[in-house]
Structure 1
């Protein structure tokens, strides 16, 4: 079940992050960005997730997805 939740939260975070960063990607890329961001954000904010619940899990996923987009744009030459 945590994998399914990771994909759902990651997809939502990827969608919001791509809109915030004004990045136009297809659906699989958006989901991949969101899931990668959820992994990164989950690792960074795991302690807060245990203390405060799912809301910080989404915030962590969103911040992680924005970080992935920023790194991708910075080092791939895409805008």
Structure 2
């Protein structure tokens, strides 16, 4: 369902993008450009979000380990 939604949104985005740049294109070209842009942008954004989530988990793990080492040194001995 996600790809179908990207295609539908892409058709509208292509129309808006061609109008924003003042480019007069026929309807099929406008729709194809918008769909391709939506697919590329959607997949790129998902990849960036996935990397951000992974990095957040890594930072959280490091901070947790630092906190435990500090607690162990302060109260463990």
| TM-score grouping bracket, smaller chain normalisation | 0.5 to 0.7
Match of 1:43 in 2: 43
Q: Secondary structure at the match of 1:18?
A: helix
**Normalising by the residue count of structure 1, what TM-score does the alignment of the two structures yield?**
0.53
Aligned-pair distance for 1:22? 0.9
Runs of 4+ that moved beyond 6 A:
none
Q: Give the gaps of 5 or more residues in structure 2.
A: 51-77
Distance, in Å, in 1 between the alignment partners of 2:17 and 2:40 is: 14
Match of 1:6 in 2: 6
**RMSD between aligned alpha carbons?**
2.0
Distance, in Å, in 2 between the alignment partners of 1:42 and 1:3 is: 9
Query: How many pairs align?
Result: 49
The equivalences for 1:1-79 within 5 A come to 1-46=1-46, 47=49
More helix by proportion, 1 or 2?
2
Q: Give the gaps of 5 or more residues in structure 1.
A: 49-79
**Normalising by the residue count of structure 2, what TM-score does the alignment of the two structures yield?**
0.54
Which protein has greater RCO, CA pairs closer than 8 Å, 6+ apart? Answer: 1
Q: Secondary structure at the match of 2:28?
A: helix
Relative distance call for 1:2 and 1:35 in structure 2 (3 A) is same
